[in-house]
Amino acid sequence: MTQTDADAKPDKEPKRRTGPVTFTKQVAGELRKVRWPTRRELVTYTIVVLVFVLVVLGYVSLVDWGFGEAVTWLYGTFGTPQGV
């Protein structure tokens, strides 16, 4: 049978907060473990992101223009009263 959060027994001790000095040391230790991208990888990723943004920009612009034209046509066709 699987134990759920409702079935779990609460911890007897509350977790202690970490002080600012210990926190800073832990952050520095974690940052040493990070694999930073090379310049070539960074340039490649940047180009990929920019191309993707331009493609999405073009798609959204095209859809926006299409909806604008459709609304303009609708109001031009059905928006003006005939007897005025």
Q: Where are the alpha helices (DSSP H) in 9-84?
A: 20-33, 39-78
What range defines the domain where residue 49 resides?
37-78
Nearest to 30 by CA among 38, 39, 22: 22
- The confidence score (pLDDT) of residue 59 equals 98
Residue 71 lies in a domain: yes
How far apart are the C-alpha atoms of 37 and 42, rounded to whole Å? 6
Q: What digits encode the pLDDT tens for the residues 9-66?
A: 666 777 788 899 999 999 999 999 999 999 999 999 999 999 999 999 999 999 999 9
Q: How far apart are CA 66 and CA 24, in angstroms?
A: 53
In a domain, 31, yes or no: no
Instruction: Give the pLDDT of residue 6.
Output: 61
Chain centroid to CA 84: 51
Does 29 reside within a domain? no
In a domain, 20, yes or no: no
Given this model, what pLDDT does residue 82 score?
Answer: 63
pTM of the model: 0.57
Does residue 1 register a pLDDT over 60? no
Domain count, the chain: 1
Residue 13 lies in a domain: no
